[in-house]
Amino acid sequence: MIKVKVSEEKVAKDEEDIKAIIKYVQVDLKMLKSKAEKEKTISILNELIGQKE
Look at residue 52 in the predicted model and tell me its pLDDT: 52
Domain limits, the chain: 8-49
For the stretch 24-46, what's the b/e string if a residue is b when 16 or more beta carbons lie within 10 angstroms of its beta carbon?
eeeeeeeeeeeebeeeeebeebe
Of 35, 37, 31, nearest to 53 by C-alpha is: 37
Q: Are 32 and 45 in contact (CB under 8 A)?
A: yes
Q: Are 19 and 48 in contact (CB under 8 A)?
A: yes
Which mean pLDDT values do the consecutive 10-residue runs of the chain (53 residues) have?
A: 79 89 89 95 89 55
